[in-house]
Amino acid sequence: MVGGIIKNYSIHKISKSEAKDILNKFHYLSQQGYSFRSGFNYGLFYEKCLIGVAIYHTLSVPETAKGCFGLERNQQQGLYELGRLAINPDYYIKNLTSWFLSRTIKLLKKETNVRAILSYADSNYHVGYIYQATNFKYYGLTEPKKDFWILQNDGTYIKHQRGKIKGLKGEWRPRSRKHRYLIIFDKNLKCLWQEEPYPKGNNNSKYNKNA
């Protein structure tokens, strides 16, 4: 076992396949068919039952470190992203998510060199109160972008992932903007983004235990 225990709750390292079971059921991106990256995968257990997941990995978009810190690709060691956070709401108790998140950060720092952790909150679903409760700083919304959605034979659309779109039938749709949260541990790192006041608003109640 790694981590602490709050009553009957404990934290253990888990595999990607174990994490997938929880994310498919309780994380909004997995429910929409999005894949996820594995990395440092921590599971939240109630007694012997896996009921939550937190996954940390290197930055999904390395260019982010350039905009945030002015760092090139060969200077990004120790920069991590909280890629997924989800808890089965049937087992939720007050402050459980913040307890889980803060302790997995401590475990990550014990396992590897952690200079900073970045996380996003999709503005379509929540504003990121969990990060506000765990001392992340807020750096506004990501820039507006659009995605190309490919028209299928049955009239539905799927999001284009990679490659050329020339000759494909479909349409451009605005991408949901994401709230940017960052916690810095390396005092030599200086964020180039402008820090902003925490956003407020109502979370989608279906997803308020997930990030």
As a three-state string, the secondary structure of 35-48 is CCCCCEEEEEEECC
CA dihedral 189, 107, 179, 174 (to 10 degrees): 110
Give per-residue pLDDT as tens, 48-89.
999 999 999 999 999 999 999 999 999 999 999 999 999 999
Residue 1 has pLDDT above 50, yes or no: no
**Which domains are assigned to the chain?**
2-142+177-207 (3.40.630.30)
- Taking alpha carbons only, the member of 29, 211, 54 closest to residue 129 is 211
Instruction: Look at residue 132 and give its three-state secondary structure.
Output: helix
- pTM for the predicted model, two decimal places: 0.81
Give per-residue pLDDT as tens, 93-109.
889 999 999 999 999 99
Q: Residue 137: which residues within 8 A CB-CB, separation 6 or more?
A: 181, 182, 183, 184, 191, 195
Cα 208 to Cα 126: distance, rounded to the nearest angstrom: 7
Q: What's the whole-number average pLDDT of the chain?
A: 87
Paired sense of beta strands 79-87 and 116-122, if any: parallel
Cα 14 to Cα 186: distance, rounded to the nearest angstrom: 27
pLDDT band at 38 (very low <50, low <70, confident <90, very high): confident
Sign of CA dihedral 101, 103, 107, 113: positive
Phi, psi (degrees; rounded to nearest 5) at 54: -135, 125
CA distances from 84 to 131, 194, 198 (A): 13, 25, 21
